[in-house]
Amino acid sequence: MKKILVIGGGAMGSAFTIPCLDNGNSVTITEPYSIRFIKNLSSKNKFHSALKINLPKKLKFRNFSSELLKEKFDLIVIALSLPGIDFIGKELMKCKIRSPILVLTKGLKYQKKAKKIFTISKKLNNDYKLKNISILKGPCLAKELVRKKQTSVIIANKNIKIAKAIGKLVSTRYYLIEYSKDVVGIEVCSAIKNIYSMIIGAGQSLNSSSNLFQKSVIEMRYLTKYFKGKEETTLGLAGVGDLYVSAAGGRNSKMGSYLGKGFTFKIAKKKFMPYETVEGEQLAREIAPFIFKKIDKKKIPLMINFLRAIINNKKLKIKV
Ligand SMILES: NC(=O)c1ccc[n+]([C@@H]2O[C@H](COP(=O)([O-])OP(=O)(O)OC[C@H]3O[C@@H](n4cnc5c(N)ncnc54)[C@H](O)[C@@H]3O)[C@@H](O)[C@H]2O)c1
Residue 271 has pLDDT above 90, yes or no: yes
Please report the pLDDT score of residue 149 as a whole number: 98
Instruction: Give the number of the atom of ligand 1 that is nearest the alpha carbon of residue 80.
Output: 24
Please report the pLDDT score of residue 19 as a whole number: 98
Residue 244 has pLDDT above 90, yes or no: yes
CA-nearest residue, atom 5 of ligand 1: 140
What pLDDT digit, counting tens, does each position of 53-62 carry?
999 999 999 9
The mean predicted confidence, pLDDT, of the chain is 96
Please report the pLDDT score of residue 113 as a whole number: 85
pTM: 0.96
Report which residue type is found at 12: M
Instruction: Give the number of the atom of ligand 1 that is nearest the alpha carbon of residue 151.
Output: 3
Please report the pLDDT score of residue 318 as a whole number: 80
Dist CA 82 CA 120 (whole Å): 9
Residue 320 has pLDDT above 90, yes or no: no
Instruction: Give the number of the atom of ligand 1 that is nearest the alpha carbon of residue 279.
Output: 43
Residue 319 has pLDDT above 80, yes or no: no
Distance 125 CA to ligand 1 centre (A): 20
What pLDDT digit, counting tens, does each position of 147-193 carry?
999 999 999 999 999 999 999 999 999 999 999 999 999 999 999 99
What mean pLDDT is predicted for residues 47-69?
97
CA-nearest residue, atom 12 of ligand 1: 81
Protein residues with CB under 6 Å of any ligand 1 atom: 8-13, 31-34, 37, 50, 79-84, 87, 104-107, 136-138, 140, 142, 153, 277, 279
CA-nearest residue, atom 18 of ligand 1: 10
CA-nearest residue, atom 35 of ligand 1: 84
Distance 9 CA to ligand 1 centre (A): 8
Mutation choice for ligand 1 from 7, 12, 29, 141, CB with most ligand atoms inside 8 A: 12
CA-nearest residue, atom 3 of ligand 1: 137
**Per-residue confidence band for 247, with pLDDT thresholds at 50, 70 and 90:** very high
Distance 211 CA to ligand 1 centre (A): 30
What pLDDT digit, counting tens, does each position of 210-236 carry?
999 999 999 999 999 999 999 999 999
Distance 8 CA to ligand 1 centre (A): 7
N-term to C-term CA, the chain: 53
Please report the pLDDT score of residue 249 as a whole number: 84
DSSP H or E run through 63: none
Instruction: Give the number of the atom of ligand 1 that is nearest the alpha carbon of residue 136.
Output: 1
Mutation choice for ligand 1 from 53, 80, 141, 153, CB with most ligand atoms inside 8 A: 80
What mean pLDDT is predicted for residues 110-117?
89
Task: Pinpoint the alpha helices (H) of the chain.
Answer: 11-22, 35-42, 66-70, 85-94, 120-128, 142-145, 160-170, 183-201, 206-226, 242-248, 251-260, 265-272, 279-294, 301-311
Residue 25 has pLDDT above 80, yes or no: yes
Mutation choice for ligand 1 from 39, 81, 195, CB with most ligand atoms inside 8 A: 81
Structural domains in the chain, CATH included, are: 3-181 (3.40.50.720), 196-311 (1.10.1040.10)
Dist CA 213 CA 243 (whole Å): 8
Residue 277 has pLDDT above 90, yes or no: no
Please report the pLDDT score of residue 72 as a whole number: 94
Alpha-carbon distances, residue 34 vs 8, 205, 237, 279, 280 (angstroms): 9, 37, 30, 17, 21
**Per-residue confidence band for 308, with pLDDT thresholds at 50, 70 and 90:** very high
